[in-house]
Protein backbone atom coordinates (compact mmCIF):
# COMPACT_ATOMS: atom_id res chain seq x y z
CA UNK A 1 0.00 0.00 0.00
CA UNK A 2 2.88 2.41 0.67
CA UNK A 3 4.11 2.00 -2.91
CA UNK A 4 0.73 3.06 -4.33
CA UNK A 5 0.80 6.21 -2.19
CA UNK A 6 4.30 7.01 -3.44
CA UNK A 7 3.19 6.56 -7.07
CA UNK A 8 0.15 8.76 -6.46
CA UNK A 9 2.35 11.46 -4.93
CA UNK A 10 4.85 11.31 -7.79
CA UNK A 11 2.03 11.46 -10.35
CA UNK A 12 0.53 14.47 -8.60
CA UNK A 13 3.89 16.24 -8.46
CA UNK A 14 4.53 15.58 -12.15
CA UNK A 15 1.09 16.89 -13.03
CA UNK A 16 1.59 20.04 -10.95
CA UNK A 17 5.02 20.59 -12.49
CA UNK A 18 3.62 20.27 -15.99
CA UNK A 19 0.82 22.70 -15.18
CA UNK A 20 3.28 25.18 -13.67
CA UNK A 21 5.37 25.14 -16.85
CA UNK A 22 2.38 25.87 -19.06
CA UNK A 23 1.84 29.56 -19.66
CA UNK A 24 -1.73 30.14 -20.91
CA UNK A 25 -0.68 33.52 -22.29
CA UNK A 26 1.63 31.81 -24.78
CA UNK A 27 0.06 32.29 -28.19
CA UNK A 28 0.01 29.42 -30.58
CA UNK A 29 1.91 30.16 -33.75
CA UNK A 30 -0.40 30.02 -36.73
CA UNK A 31 1.07 27.46 -39.14
CA UNK A 32 1.37 28.03 -42.88
CA UNK A 33 -1.83 27.31 -44.77
CA UNK A 34 -4.05 28.31 -41.83
CA UNK A 35 -6.18 31.42 -42.24
CA UNK A 36 -5.11 34.40 -40.17
CA UNK A 37 -7.32 35.80 -37.40
CA UNK A 38 -8.39 38.60 -39.75
CA UNK A 39 -9.20 36.22 -42.62
CA UNK A 40 -11.25 34.05 -40.28
CA UNK A 41 -13.11 37.12 -38.99
CA UNK A 42 -14.03 38.16 -42.53
CA UNK A 43 -15.16 34.75 -43.75
CA UNK A 44 -17.13 33.91 -40.58
CA UNK A 45 -18.88 37.29 -40.70
CA UNK A 46 -19.73 36.62 -44.36
CA UNK A 47 -21.12 33.19 -43.43
CA UNK A 48 -23.29 34.79 -40.74
CA UNK A 49 -24.61 37.40 -43.19
CA UNK A 50 -25.30 34.81 -45.89
CA UNK A 51 -27.16 32.56 -43.48
CA UNK A 52 -29.18 35.44 -42.09
CA UNK A 53 -30.19 36.63 -45.56
CA UNK A 54 -31.34 33.14 -46.52
CA UNK A 55 -33.18 32.46 -43.26
CA UNK A 56 -34.92 35.83 -43.27
CA UNK A 57 -35.59 35.52 -47.01
CA UNK A 58 -34.84 39.22 -47.44
CA UNK A 59 -35.64 39.04 -51.16
CA UNK A 60 -39.00 37.43 -50.42
CA UNK A 61 -38.57 34.65 -52.98
CA UNK A 62 -40.69 31.50 -53.11
CA UNK A 63 -39.29 28.74 -50.89
CA UNK A 64 -38.35 26.51 -53.84
CA UNK A 65 -36.04 29.25 -55.22
CA UNK A 66 -34.21 30.09 -51.99
CA UNK A 67 -31.13 27.95 -52.77
CA UNK A 68 -30.52 29.55 -56.16
CA UNK A 69 -31.34 33.08 -55.00
CA UNK A 70 -29.02 32.98 -52.00
CA UNK A 71 -26.12 31.17 -53.66
CA UNK A 72 -23.50 33.43 -52.05
CA UNK A 73 -20.49 31.35 -51.02
CA UNK A 74 -18.18 33.16 -48.57
CA UNK A 75 -15.31 30.79 -49.37
CA UNK A 76 -15.42 31.52 -53.10
CA UNK A 77 -15.97 35.24 -52.52
CA UNK A 78 -12.89 35.37 -50.27
CA UNK A 79 -10.79 33.08 -52.49
CA UNK A 80 -10.45 30.40 -49.79
CA UNK A 81 -10.34 26.64 -50.44
CA UNK A 82 -12.71 24.47 -48.44
CA UNK A 83 -9.78 22.33 -47.27
CA UNK A 84 -7.96 25.44 -46.06
CA UNK A 85 -11.08 26.60 -44.20
CA UNK A 86 -11.62 23.14 -42.65
CA UNK A 87 -7.97 22.99 -41.54
CA UNK A 88 -8.26 26.47 -40.07
CA UNK A 89 -11.42 25.58 -38.15
CA UNK A 90 -9.67 22.47 -36.76
CA UNK A 91 -6.60 24.51 -35.76
CA UNK A 92 -8.60 27.22 -34.00
CA UNK A 93 -10.84 24.64 -32.31
CA UNK A 94 -7.64 23.30 -30.73
CA UNK A 95 -6.71 26.84 -29.65
CA UNK A 96 -9.83 28.14 -27.91
CA UNK A 97 -8.29 31.44 -26.82
CA UNK A 98 -7.58 32.34 -30.44
CA UNK A 99 -10.99 31.07 -31.51
CA UNK A 100 -12.63 33.30 -28.89
CA UNK A 101 -10.71 36.29 -30.24
CA UNK A 102 -12.08 35.52 -33.70
CA UNK A 103 -15.61 35.04 -32.39
CA UNK A 104 -15.48 38.31 -30.45
CA UNK A 105 -14.18 40.18 -33.51
CA UNK A 106 -16.99 38.71 -35.66
CA UNK A 107 -19.56 39.92 -33.14
CA UNK A 108 -17.99 43.40 -33.18
CA UNK A 109 -17.96 43.45 -37.01
CA UNK A 110 -21.61 42.43 -37.25
CA UNK A 111 -22.60 44.95 -34.57
CA UNK A 112 -20.79 47.72 -36.46
CA UNK A 113 -22.55 46.74 -39.68
CA UNK A 114 -25.89 46.83 -37.90
CA UNK A 115 -25.14 50.26 -36.40
CA UNK A 116 -24.09 51.63 -39.79
CA UNK A 117 -27.24 50.24 -41.40
CA UNK A 118 -29.43 51.72 -38.65
CA UNK A 119 -27.73 55.10 -38.98
CA UNK A 120 -28.21 55.02 -42.76
CA UNK A 121 -31.90 54.13 -42.44
CA UNK A 122 -32.43 56.84 -39.81
CA UNK A 123 -30.73 59.52 -41.94
CA UNK A 124 -32.81 58.56 -44.99
CA UNK A 125 -36.07 58.60 -43.04
CA UNK A 126 -35.34 62.06 -41.61
CA UNK A 127 -35.03 63.58 -45.10
| Span 82-118, pLDDT tens digits | 999 999 999 999 999 999 999 999 999 999 987 877 6
Instruction: Let me know how long the chain is.
Output: 127
| Cα–Cα nearest to 70, from 98, 42, 51 | 51
120 within 8 A of 110, measured Cβ to Cβ? no
Domain boundaries, the chain: 28-125
pLDDT at res. 86: 94
61 within 8 A of 69, measured Cβ to Cβ? yes
| Span 35-66, pLDDT tens digits | 999 999 999 999 888 887 767 665 666 766 65
In angstroms, the CA 60 to CA 78 distance is 26
| Cα–Cα nearest to 98, from 44, 32, 30 | 30
Amino acid sequence: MKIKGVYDTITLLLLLTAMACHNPKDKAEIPPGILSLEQMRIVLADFALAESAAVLNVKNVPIHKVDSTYAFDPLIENNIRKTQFDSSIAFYAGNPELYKQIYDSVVVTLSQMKSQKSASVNSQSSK
